[in-house]
Structure 1
Amino acid sequence: MPPFYCMIMKINIDCGGCYRKIRDALLKLQELESHLIERKRGRVIVFGEFDPQAVAIRMRKMINRRVQILEIKEAEVGSGEGEAFK
């Protein structure tokens, strides 16, 4: 089982069309649990069990824009805030 990652990427989001293209590409990636698009800051945060470099490369190919990885954090599944809901 691959590790659970939180990855922050920098992507230039100029307009509504760019935003929709990025959102649609993120929804097509099956390995992502969830995502957050910070339009004003030009950042995309993704969560899930995936290979960070592979996801960044696939995103770049899907949206035809430069994708820069800012930060990758590895999280342990079953720890943290999720414990409060069990």
Structure 2
Amino acid sequence: MNRRATTTARIPAQATSSPLQAHQPDALRLLLTVEEAGAALGVGRSLMYELIARGEIQTVRVGRLRRVRPDDLRDYVTSLTE
């Protein structure tokens, strides 16, 4: 009797949550990584760094880390429609 085990793909809970709430599902995160901010906008890491370098998206430094405030992402999106 050779039975093949059937498996179903499971999507991790984190993959279905918003990038703005990836690590704290019950509370809005105060700072996002550049990658998380890019995911929230639907753009890649390289484009995010270009937008930051051009001054279109503001960032803050936490030690050596660069982080993006969700309000700064909203400001950027708002500026696109003006």
Larger helix share, 1 or 2: 2
Larger RCO: 1 or 2 (CA < 8 Å, sep 6+)? 1
User: Larger % of strand: which?
Assistant: 1
TM-score, scaled relative to structure 1: 0.27
